[in-house]
Amino acid sequence: MSASLLRRMLYLLAVAMPLAGSHATAAEKLKAVASFSILGDLVSQVGGERVEVKTLVGPNGDAHVYEPKPDDARSIAAADIIFVNGLGFEGWLGRLRDASGKANVITLSAGVTPNGIDPHAWQSVPNTRIYVRNIAQSLCALDAAGCPAYKANAEAYELQLQALDADIREMFAAIPQDRRIVITSHDAFGYFAREYGVTFLAPEGVSTDSEASAQDVARLIRQIREKKAVALFVESISDPRLIDQISRETGIKAGGALYSDALSDEQGPAATYIAMMRQNAILLVKAMQES
Ligand code: ZN
């Protein structure tokens, strides 16, 4: 056996064997899986130090059309608890979950008033407060010793969400109703629309799994002209070409990229849920004021 092979084997043994004395650190953390990046942030906010969070669909990923990787099945098999959005958002998750035999799957939208078939409930901050309470409750059920910490984290985070919600309302309050009309790639902002009084028009439906037809686009262009939309937005998860085409045909200017279904990477402007909601509101209001 060569020396380098021996070294590699020893290394593998060392990383595979739990070390005596390391018990109190990583080994004791609860293992949570979150289906996509926005939930991953919320679970981290509430779980804090006691929970290790693995996110399946990462930053800038499209959870509507995600194809699970072998690594995801391993993460789910190893998880103590799995957090999903529900409302039909993660169609791909069912098979993974069934294959793993996991029962501890928490649907975070439980308790939200559904907006038709639209799964994007987190686009309303009051709904996200419901998600946060669901996370705290389910972590408490799993780990009683950590419950005071989960509750304290959730309460502190909810205060930040309350402030965020108030800020967004204040930002839109100054915009006349007839200027609050914009276009996005897919219908991801129904809850935002209902909560904050903005009208969103989109060529694609509430999922990204089917492309907009030529008729959809023609209908949208008619709507844009009738309703006098003020700006167009691409989405971080979507192909910008269709929005570019609509921009050329209608002469309406592009207002930047909104974050609907995923956070940005850490260097981006939407690395957390709160940063994402703020960034979206800032871009929307700016476009409405400037148009
Ligand atoms: Zn979506």
Distance of alpha carbon 51 from alpha carbon 83, whole angstroms: 13
| Interval between CA 7 and ligand 1 midpoint (Å) | 48
Strand partners, 257: 234
| Interval between CA 50 and ligand 1 midpoint (Å) | 30
Which of 66-80, 95-109, 115-129 has the largest mean confidence? 115-129
34 — pLDDT class (breaks 50, 70, 90):
very high
- pLDDT score of 27: 54
Quick check: 266 pLDDT over 90?
yes
- pLDDT score of 24: 43
- pLDDT score of 175: 96
| Interval between CA 188 and ligand 1 midpoint (Å) | 5
Tell me the per-residue pLDDT of 213-236, one tens digit each, with 9 for 90 and over. Answer: 888 889 889 988 888 899 999 888
- State whether residue 105 is helix, strand or coil: strand
Residues having C-beta closer than 5 Å to ion ligand 1: 188, 261
Q: What Rg value do the Cα atoms of the chain yield, rounded?
A: 22
Tell me the per-residue pLDDT of 12-23, one tens digit each, with 9 for 90 and over. Answer: 544 444 444 333
The arithmetic mean of pLDDT across residues 190-206, rounded, is 94
- Identify the burial level of 237 via C-beta atoms within 10 angstroms of its C-beta, where 0-12 means exposed, 13-18 middle and 19 or more buried: buried
| Interval between CA 27 and ligand 1 midpoint (Å) | 35
The arithmetic mean of pLDDT across residues 98-124, rounded, is 92
Task: Sort strands 231-235 and 81-84 into parallel, antiparallel or unpaired.
Answer: unpaired
- pLDDT score of 103: 74
| Interval between CA 170 and ligand 1 midpoint (Å) | 26
On whether the CB atoms of residues 17 and 9 are closer than 8 A, the answer is no
**In terms of Cα–Cα distance, which of 283, 285, 278 is closest to 173?**
285
- pLDDT score of 76: 92
| Interval between CA 168 and ligand 1 midpoint (Å) | 21
On whether the CB atoms of residues 180 and 227 are closer than 8 A, the answer is no
| Interval between CA 79 and ligand 1 midpoint (Å) | 26
Rounded to 5°, the CA angle 140-144-149 comes to: 65
Of 69-73, 95-99, 182-186, least confident by mean pLDDT is: 95-99
Mean pLDDT of the chain: 89
